[in-house]
Chains A and B, each alone.
Chain A
Amino acid sequence: MRLAWAFVRRDLLIAASYRANFVFALAGGVVTVTAFYFLAKLVGPAPVLRRYGADYFSFALLGLAIASCLRTLQATFAQRVREFQIDGSLEVLLAAPLSTFRIIGYLAIYPVLAAILKAVGLVVLGAMAFGAHLKINPLGFSATLVFALLPFAALGLLSAAVVLIFKRSDPITYLLDTANYILCGVIYPVEVLPAPLQSLAKLLPATHALTALRAAGLSDAGIPSLLPAWGILAAFAAFLWPTAAVALAAARRHLERTGTLPHG
């Protein structure tokens, strides 16, 4: 815990030294929510959204907030590795008496916490200032969020392994990011996609995470109805975590064999 706090404190102090960044991030969030508020007026009451128990603005607001959290989790491990490769401090960090897995994991804590805070801020802003209708089951929503974070953290660690070796390339994040936004129902429901794409969407954890989190956040879904999604997300996690651990160990071994750890 002390170690996790050391990483969070360090990142917080660095983030606080770039004050303008806070303002721009806040402004960006307000602009996004405002844009979707007016877009929702254009869409009006859409029959396809009936099963979600919400209007389009509430549907999109929650989708954007959740997707930004999951995207951060998926991308941040690789981004942090790249950042430390470029500024030359990765080698010093990896010389510490900790496993590569732990060090890269700790590097992601602050950005993930910041993303969750930002997502909560977006939802609160949407509800308080723009009248989004949320019917949240707090326990169901929190538990689903934990189940959703698990596979995405593993995907993030897998991306970090790729960046450790190939430096600039991060095809995993790029491909998943694109697939998530197109197929998984971030700003429109999966039901509007053609049947083959709907089937494809079911192969991605983001689809199940978004569906379950919307159910818990928009229509107060009870835990029994969330259980199937929890099972699917847990299955993704059970496959992805060992894969990520093996990939990270292999990446570290590759760096130590080829001597490319200090290379930016």
Chain B
Amino acid sequence: MAALPEVEVLGISKSYPPPLWRLGSQRAPRVALDDVSFTVRSGELVALIGPNGAGKSTLLRILAGLLLPSRGSARVAQLDVVRDRPKSRRVIGAALSEDRGLSPRLTVKQNLEFYAALYGLTRPQALQGIAELAERFEATALLRREVRTLSTGERARAVLIRVLLHRPRVVLLDEITRSLDPGAAARLRRQILAEVAGRGAAVLFASHDLAEVQAIASGVLLLDQGHAARFGSFAQVRPDAERIFASPTSETVR
């Protein structure tokens, strides 16, 4: 019998209500996701692609337990992301867009120790986890540096260590390589792949970079204006992706 999916999304829809002070036609809710369903199994790395505003970040935030869906349900590691909160958040490691969770005045190690405590790790577990991950992410030398002195690439590695420290079964990454130079992005991609292969986590990562998606994704979910336009391998999704990204409403794709 096949293992149960680590991420199971069933008919998720999300509409953002309009601000109370909006009038008339402006009071219509903004639909961010419309009836999206898919699954991700342990060891799979699924890319979320789609133009800006397609619903990628909304979907990741729902799975992270930071947004309520309007309809449908989602489970991570067999826990419902709404009913089983905050417990469901323990099995998730998330770096959402423009992640600024590391305090600039503290060293990387001090930040990581704090987050380890938040996720219930004992001090020996935290220290061992930090040392191991820092070695794997070539970040041992960064541990004693204050976050404010790190480059963008170094900061991205520190964030990734924070995300993986409590050994999450589901990893959610929102454009984590966006601000990195091509070399740093490629290094980080290799490290994410090695980590997924090594620990068997299920990974969902949003990206605009089709080359990056082709390089590391085992599956691709193409979102377009909140709809799941296609779910399959990169080769299967590519023609639709190129068509959607080429349309005049699309803003950016590399």
> Once the chains are docked, how many angstroms separate the CA of A87 from the CA of B16?
24
Chain A residues lying within 8 Å of B119, measured Cβ to Cβ, are 96-97
- How many of A's residues come within 8 Å of B, CB to CB? 30
Contact string against A for B residues 81-111, beta-carbon threshold 8 Å, 1 for contact and 0 otherwise: 0000011111010101011111101100010
Query: Is A35 located at the chain interface by the 8 A CB criterion?
Result: no
> Once the chains are docked, how many angstroms separate the CA of A261 from the CA of B96?
12
Does A259 contact B64, Cβ atoms closer than 8 Å?
no
Chain A min CB distance to B111 (Å): 8
Query: Is A168 located at the chain interface by the 8 A CB criterion?
Result: no
Query: Is B17 located at the chain interface by the 8 A CB criterion?
Result: yes
> Once the chains are docked, how many angstroms separate the CA of A99 from the CA of B89?
11
Does B16 contact A95, Cβ atoms closer than 8 Å?
no
For chains A and B in complex, what number of residue pairs have CB atoms within 8 angstroms?
Answer: 80
Selected interface stretch from A2-10, A42-50, A139-147, A187-195:
A2-10
Query: Is B65 located at the chain interface by the 8 A CB criterion?
Result: yes
Does B117 contact A89, Cβ atoms closer than 8 Å?
no
Chain B residues lying within 8 Å of A2, measured Cβ to Cβ, are 117
Does B106 contact A14, Cβ atoms closer than 8 Å?
yes
Does B66 contact A261, Cβ atoms closer than 8 Å?
yes
Q: Which of B17, B68, B89, B96 has the most chain A CB within a 10 Å cutoff?
A: B68
Chain A residues lying within 8 Å of B58, measured Cβ to Cβ, are 259
Q: When A10-B110, A261-B66 are in contact, do A98 and B86 touch as well, CB less than 8 Å?
A: yes
Chain A min CB distance to B191 (Å): 21
Chain B residues lying within 8 Å of A253, measured Cβ to Cβ, are 68
Residue of A nearest to B61 (CB): A259
> Can you add 16 more A-B contacts, CB < 8 Å, to A6-B114, A256-B67?
A2-B117, A3-B118, A6-B118, A7-B114, A9-B114, A13-B105, A88-B100, A89-B102, A91-B66, A92-B96, A92-B100, A93-B118, A96-B119, A97-B90, A257-B17, A258-B16
Q: Which residues of B contact A (CB under 8 A)?
A: 16-17, 32, 58, 61, 64-68, 86-90, 92, 94, 96, 98-103, 105-106, 110, 113-115, 117-120
Q: Which residues of A contact B (CB under 8 A)?
A: 2-3, 5-7, 9-10, 13-14, 17-18, 87-89, 91-99, 253, 256-259, 261-262
